[in-house]
A and B are shown apart, each in its own frame.
Chain A
Amino acid sequence: MEKKLGIYMHIPFCARKCLYCDFLSMPAPRPLQAAYVRALRNEMESQASFYRGYRAETVFLGGGTPSLLSAAEIRALFSCLHDCYRIAGDAEITMEMNPGTVTGEMLAACQSAGVNRISLGLQSAQDEELRRLGRIHTWEMFLQSYRLCRAYGFDNINIDLMSALPGQTLASWRDTLEKTTALTPEHISAYSLILEEGTPFYETYGGESTPAGSYERENTERAGDALPDEDTERDMDDLTKRFLAERGYARYEISNYARKGKKCRHNCIYWTRGEYVGFGLGAASLVAEKRWSNKREMQAYLHRWENPDGGQGREESGQRLSRKEQMEETMYLGLRMTQGVSLVDFRRTFGCEMEEIYGEVLKRYTAMGLLRCADGRVSLTDRGIEVSNYVLADFLL
């Protein structure tokens, strides 16, 4: 039987870098994009032989801004994908798009390429907040993009949102949730702004990025665009959870909500440690219990994949994960999902009871009401999710 695989393709280009973003992306001239797409195809082609025994259940074209690609580039990329890899007939094929870069021509190309899920980065329905984030679009532009996607028949759409933004209030966040849910997307990702070192936001908001993630913001006195304090932030989280539940979106991961049957299958692979391979600049893979990431330097990447035979052998590095690392990952990734981790699965995978490895931690946090053990699964409680870093850290052995 064929093994299941997730395929990720990375497009590291943006029209403009957002002020909070620390992902691998950059503005780039057209010729560089074209060269990159060629290299990406060459990489996929050359690696195909290593995945003969696999069938892709999910494909994710992420970025950056994949919607910056031309229709021709999208066609070329997907035809390469379909030529080289076995894709399941019911595969979930997602493409990330940035409002303001969505055109009918591109959507048509996506459709014929097999894309059946679209993820739109909205972040906020408030133009002022979008401006502060350095986003290239307004709410109105997003609406147009969203409607266009629907008009082209896409029936599985995710919208990315962000709370804890500068200048955001509980009321403005509620309004964003309100407007977003009114559009009835199938899926909503609701993230919190994280101040990452090296970003303009980090400089501006003096991110004391403590491991606890609890920034000392009480003294950040900035008229209008101050970051919400910890209490407001938590009130926003509370609101998100309640509001989305009321409107039929079930939380299935810390920041992910979906209508029935519309979870993002690709992301679930990450959390459940399914096998996936990433192509493109800096893309990460987990195959046969080995994790590796592609190089992050553009020139080196282009040079290596100038020709399909550029890579002698498999693009991988890194050690096979130890049993200990596998256990740790199983827990701290698995517990991000509300379904938690199955005791039976754990025993089947590792040949021992979870209790033997994590007995003390499970007991302590269950007693504190942060973990729940029920129906043969361990999962975080609502309170546990709020302080999940604190809990998950103790699953490192």
Chain B
Amino acid sequence: MTEMTYMDRSRIRNFCIIAHIDHGKSTLADRIIEKTGLLTEREMQAQVLDNMELERERGITIKSQAVRIVYRARDDKEYILNLIDTPGHVDFNYEVSRSLAACDGAVLVVDAAQGIEAQTLANVYLALDHDLDVFPVINKIDLPSARPEWVKEEIEDVIGLEAQDAPLISAKNGIGIEEVLEQIVTKIPAPQGDPQAPLSALIFDSLYDSYKGVIIFCRIMDGTVRRGSNILMMATQARAEVVEVGYFGAGQFIPCEELSAGMVGYITASIKNVKDTMVGDTVTDADGPCAQPLPGYKEVTPMVYCGMYPADGAKYPDLRDALEKLQLNDASLRYEAETSIALGFGFRCGFLGLLHLEIIQERLEREYNLDLVTTAPSVIYKVYKTNGEVLELTNPSNLPEPTEIDYMEEPIVSAEIMVTKDFVGSIMELCQERRGRYISMEYMEETRALLKYELPLNEIIYDFFDALKSRSRGYASFDYELKGYERSEMVKLDILINKEEVDALSFIVHSASAYERGRKMCEKLKEEIPRHLFEIPIQAAVGGKIIARETVKAMRKDVLAKCYGGDITRKKKLLEKQKEGKKRMRQIGSVEIPQKAFMSVLKLDDK
């Protein structure tokens, strides 16, 4: 297919698929790839683009992916379609925006039964912000509950997109895919750009490969890049010589001669670290750079921090190596060494959000076989000290003495929640409980409302989404973006076990909820800490003042009074299990705390 490399720009379409979660984005991508014959059905693993094991399991896209397909349209001409898959979670909003910037148009997938959801709106607005031409596709029309006509109207009324000729499809059953491809060709414009101009290419993702080094995923806006070109990443100022350029086959990289304006493909240049190829940065020709970098680059910064410790202290170097390797592929992951009195040596790690945190945690456990103890995630607080210093607090233990603090600020997000009429009340109640500030409510149509709230980030990172789902019987959808910092009355809640403060259990909480959280923490810990030979008080304290207390009663009896005869294996297994249990405990003074206690306290749900 090398001849295609030189194909006329007018026969290229760069597009993405946007959708609310579960509306069928990845399935449609699969069908498109299948339809255009890149892979036979047998070769298709379900959801080709989500190629991390985790992505498939969770049914979400974590990293951007791209694939190039060739389609012979009804006009009997062959087109190159570059599908850029975007991450499907609010944690990765910036990556989404860069992927969109690499496209010229977007296919909006809407579920024929559910209609528009919060992420549908958020994604459409994002796409329109990037001047993409968007056309809708109505998916899952084979469902008994499908209401395609109603959804069409909704799309027109709410979003203002022409929807009368929207393809009615079932991605799952391969119905209507042809029509989608045809509309991609007719409704999405061909890319602009000048192949003779100085090189400017947008990085929308990168991947570390142990043989090739960093593989830059990019969209060429202007100019041409080929093997031997000297390139410069404009934001990071990293330079390198191009070793290979190419495009994306399904699940493989296919080298080609050159990439020129309008094309989507990859560049390798023996770059050692993804930190040099930040998403959103501009690749240009070092010998003849473009005048200006492409707009929209920003450095992504973690929103959520937590401590990660190896369950077995001896595995600390393994954890460090694993984090180092993960960071090669994930420039938004931050970590630095820290020490906890309770947990020993570990790392304070920064993430884009809780999902990102969970993904990294799972990958560390699965791919690197590490057993981790994770402390409660915390947002970044700004601590304005009386001496004029401003501290960005990522670890609650580092909060200065109250006397040194002038005031504190916490991050606030603008949230949009879409919910059916019946649940508006309970969702508003939830937002109030979470210290939300009501902004507005609009009825999208008779039965559904869009609620806008400003919420403190620390109120939504743990279990807000779960609470939202359970209070709306799964009907509410949710999206948010960081708004900024606001002054707030925050205090540090300390936990004392057997009168000793356990640093890894401290967290920052709004003063109004300190008592409630403290009480729940104590209750939860009482469940988690096994009985010892002595009584153990568990206390919650703010600024040295005890605000809640529970007691773990002393163990009275633990004896195996049974006749096992000559077969001692059971007896030994029991003792081994007990010994193993002791090992999985963290010794705090004379108290042994199970490692899961450090994590279970995250789930203090409101039921």
The interface-forming segment of B302-310, B359-367, B572-580 is B572-580
Q: Do the beta carbons of A212 and B555 come within 8 Å of each other? A: yes
B267 CB, nearest partner CB in chain A, Å: 57
Bound-complex Cα distance A57 to B567 (A): 19
Q: Please, which residues of chain A bring their CB within 8 A of the CB of B574?
A: 211, 389
A393→B582 contact, CB < 8 A: yes
Q: Binary interface profile of B, 551-575, with partner A (CB < 8 Å = 1, else 0)? A: 0000111111111011111011011
- The CA-CA distance from A164 to B417 in the complex, in Å, is 54
Are A385 and B559 neighbours in the complex by a CB distance under 8 Å? yes
User: Is the CB of B296 closer than 8 A to any CB of chain A?
Assistant: no
Are B563 and A332 touching (Cβ within 8 A)? no
Please name all residues of chain B whose beta carbon is closer than 8 Å to the beta carbon of A370 when the two chains form the complex: 533
6 A-B contacts (beta carbon < 8 Å): A6-B566, A211-B577, A212-B578, A254-B559, A332-B575, A389-B558
Residue of A nearest to B580 (CB): A211
Interchain nearest-CB distance for A261 vs B (Å): 21
Cβ distance B436 to chain A, nearest Cβ, rounded Å = 36
Residue of A nearest to B559 (CB): A388
8 more A-B contacts (CB under 8 A) besides A388-B558, A390-B558, A392-B575?
A: A194-B561, A230-B557, A237-B561, A254-B560, A283-B566, A284-B565, A284-B569, A389-B578
Which of chain A's residues have a CB closer than 8 A to the CB of B571?
Answer: 332-333
A212 touches B531 (CB 8 A): yes
Residues in A whose Cβ lies below 8 Å from that of B562: 191-192, 194, 255
The interface residues of chain B lying within 8 Å CB-to-CB of A248 are none
Determine if B530 is an interface residue (Cβ-Cβ < 8 Å): yes
Produce 1/0 per residue, A252-291, CB < 8 A to B.
Answer: 0011000000000000001000001010001111100001
B53 to chain A, nearest CB (A): 32
Complex Cα–Cα for A214 and B533 (A): 12
| A89 to B569 CA separation, bound complex (whole angstroms) | 32
Q: In the complex, A372→B583 CA distance in Å?
A: 25
Q: Is A151 an interface residue (CB 8 A)?
A: no
A234, B569: Cβ atoms under 8 Å?
no
Complex Cα spacing A204 to B5, Å = 70
* Mask of A364-397 contacts with B, CB within 8 angstroms, 1/0: 0000101000000000000001111110111110
Shortest beta-carbon distance, A98 to chain B, in Å?
14
Least Cβ distance of B303 to chain A in Å?
39
Q: A190 contacts which chain B residues (CB < 8 A)?
A: 561
Q: Is A129 interfacial (CB 8 A cutoff)?
A: no
Q: Which B residues touch A231, using CB under 8 A?
A: 556
B425 at interface (Cβ–Cβ under 8 A)? no
- Docked Cα-Cα span, A210 to B561, in Å, equals 15
Would you call A332 and B533 a contact (CB within 8 A)? no
Q: Which 7 A-B pairs have the closest CB atoms?
A: A393-B578, A284-B567, A211-B578, A255-B561, A284-B566, A192-B561, A393-B579
Closest chain B residue to A160, Cβ basis: B563
The closest CB in chain B to the CB of A283 belongs to B566
- Closest chain B residue, CB of each to CB of A396: B579
Q: Does B251 contact A (CB under 8 A)?
A: no
Residues from chain B with a CB closer than 8 A to the CB of A392 are: 575
Q: A270-B566, A286-B566, A389-B574 are in contact. Are A214 and B560 (CB under 8 A)?
A: no
Cα distance, A62 to B563, chains bound together (Å): 11
Which residues of chain A in 177-232 are interfacial with respect to chain B, using CB atoms and an 8 Å cutoff? 189-192, 194, 210-214, 230-231
Whether, in the assembled complex, B581 has its beta carbon less than 8 Å from a beta carbon of chain A, the answer is: yes
CA distance A192 to B531 in the complex (A): 20
Q: By the criterion CB–CB under 8 Å, are B556 and A276 in contact?
A: no
Binding site for B on A (CB under 8 A): 6, 8, 62, 160, 189-192, 194, 210-214, 230-231, 233-234, 237, 254-255, 270, 276, 278, 282-286, 291, 293, 328-329, 332-333, 368, 370, 385-390, 392-396
Of B559, B563, B571, B572, the most chain A CB neighbours within 10 A belong to B559
Residue in B531, B561, B565, B576 whose Cβ sees the most chain A Cβ within 10 Å: B561
A19 to B566, CA, bound (A): 22
Q: A55: shortest Cβ distance to chain B, in Å?
A: 18
Contact: B566 with A278, CB < 8 Å? yes
From residue B596, how far is it (CB to closest CB) to chain A in Å? 14
Contacts of B569 in A (CB 8 A): 284, 293
Q: Which residues of B contact A211 (CB under 8 A)?
A: 574, 577-578, 581
Docked CA distance A282–B576 (Å): 22
Partner of A194, one of B530, B533, B560, B579: B560
B residues near A396, Cβ cutoff 8 Å: 572, 575-576, 579
Asked if A389 and B559 sit within 8 Å, CB to CB, the answer is yes
Query: A326 CB to closest chain B CB, in angstroms?
Result: 12
Choose among A237, A286, A389 the residue that contacts B560 (Cβ–Cβ < 8 A): A389
Residues of A within 8 A of B561 (CB): 190-192, 194, 237, 254-255
Bound complex: CA A210 to CA B557 (Å): 12
Taking a contact as CB atoms under 8 Å apart, the answer to whether A234 and B556 are in contact is: yes
Complex Cα–Cα for A276 and B575 (A): 23
In the complex, what's the smallest C-beta–C-beta distance from B600 to chain A, in angstroms?
16
Q: Which residue of B lies closest to A212 (CB)?
A: B558
Known: A254-B560, A392-B575, A396-B579. A214 touches B565 (CB 8 A): no
Residue of B558, B566, B578, B579 touching A276 (CB-CB under 8 A): B566
Q: How near does chain B come to A336, taking the closest CB pair, in angstroms?
A: 9
Task: Give Cα A327 to B575, complex, Å.
Answer: 15
Q: Which residues of B contact A286 (CB under 8 A)?
A: 566
Q: Decide: B563 and A255 in contact? CB cutoff 8 A.
A: yes
Interface contact B572-A192, CB-CB below 8 Å: no
Residue from B530, B531, B562, B572 whose CB has the most chain A CB atoms within 10 Å? B562
State A46–B571 Cα separation when bound (angstroms). 30
Q: Mark B520-537, 1 if CB is under 8 A from A, else 0.
A: 000000000011010000
Contact with A along B26-42 (1 / 0, CB 8 A): 00000000000000000
Q: Chain B residues with Cβ under 8 A from A293's Cβ?
A: 567, 569
Contacts A254-B560, A255-B561, A396-B576: A387 and B568 contacting too (C-beta < 8 A)? no
Bound-state CA distance A255–B568 (Å) is 16
A237 to B572, CA, bound (A): 23
How far is it, in angstroms, between the C-alpha of A314 and the C-alpha of B519 when the chains are bound? 63
Docked complex Cα distance between A276 and B568 (Å):
13
A392 vs B556: C-alpha distance when bound (angstroms): 16
Which residues of chain A have C-beta atoms less than 8 A from B581's C-beta? 211
- Least CB distance from B376 to A in Å reads 26
Alpha-carbon gap, A387 to B559, bound state (A): 5
B residues near A254, Cβ cutoff 8 Å: 559-561
Complex: A395 Cα to B560 Cα, angstroms: 15
What residues on B are CB-neighbors of A160 within 8 Å?
563
Given contacts A191-B561, A194-B560, A254-B560, whether A390 and B566 have CB atoms under 8 Å apart is no
- Measured in the bound complex, the distance between the Cα atoms of B114 and A85 in whole Å is 81
Partner of A214, one of B557, B563, B582: B557
A25–B404 Cα distance when bound, in Å, is: 72
Nearest-neighbor residue (CB-CB) of A285 within chain B: B566
Most buried by A among B555, B556, B574, B576: B556
Are B530 and A368 interface neighbours, CB within 8 A? no
Whole-angstrom CA separation of A13 from B21 in the bound complex: 59
Measured CB to CB, the closest approach of chain A to B66, in angstroms, equals 51
In the complex, chain A residues whose CB is within 8 Å of the CB of B560: 194, 213, 254, 388-389
Chain B residues whose CB sits within 8 angstroms of the CB of A270 once the complex forms: 565-566, 568
Nearest-CB residue, chain B, relative to A271? B568
CB distance from B9 to the nearest CB of A (A): 68
Q: Is A386 touching B558 in the complex (CB atoms < 8 A)?
A: yes
In the complex, which residues of chain B have a beta carbon less than 8 angstroms from the beta carbon of A230? Answer: 556-557
B559 — which chain A residues lie within 8 A by C-beta? 192, 213, 237, 254, 385-389
Chain A residues with CB under 8 A of B565 = 8, 62, 270, 284
Is A233 a contact of B557 with CB atoms below 8 Å? yes
Nearest CB in chain B to that of A23: its residue: B565
Q: CA of A392 to CA of B533 in the docked complex: distance in angstroms?
A: 14
Closest residue of chain A to B531, judged by CB?
A214
Interface residues of B in 194-222 (CB under 8 A from A): none
B556 to chain A, nearest CB (A): 5
CA distance A234 to B563 in the complex (A): 19
B567 & A213 in contact (Cβ 8 Å cutoff)? no
Alpha-carbon distance between A395 and B576 when the two chains are bound, in angstroms: 10
